[in-house]
Amino acid sequence: MNLKINGEEICFDQAQAPISLTKVIEHLGYTKNLIVIEFNGEILSPQHWDELLVKSGDQLEIVTIVGGGS
């Protein structure tokens, strides 16, 4: 299964398909409460990540939230 994540093609083992968006995020090493995901052009609420199954060709843009200040 091939996904496009932040503009880069990433291949996942077909034996893992179908796989939830949450599992993809965990596999990539992201912390769920520190990111925002655009899935095929739509911003998704984290409460829907467990039920959404990704398929080959899906596109993800993952933005990490970074704190800071002066």
Q: pLDDT band for position 66 (50/70/90)?
A: confident
Q: What are the structural domains of the chain?
A: 2-64 (3.10.20.30)
Q: Which amino acid, 2?
A: N
DSSP summary character for residue 14: G
Residue 69 pLDDT > 70, yes or no?
no
Quote the pLDDT of residue 62. Answer: 96
Please give the Cα distance from 50 to 52 (Å, whole number): 6
Residue 15, pLDDT score: 64
Rounded CA separation 56/3 (Å):
6
- Rounded CA-CA distance 14/48 in Å is 23
Separation CA 37–CA 3 (nearest Å): 14
Question: What are the tens digits of pLDDT across the range 14-46?
Answer: 666 788 999 999 989 998 889 999 999 999 999
Q: What is the pLDDT, as a whole number, of residue 37?
A: 96
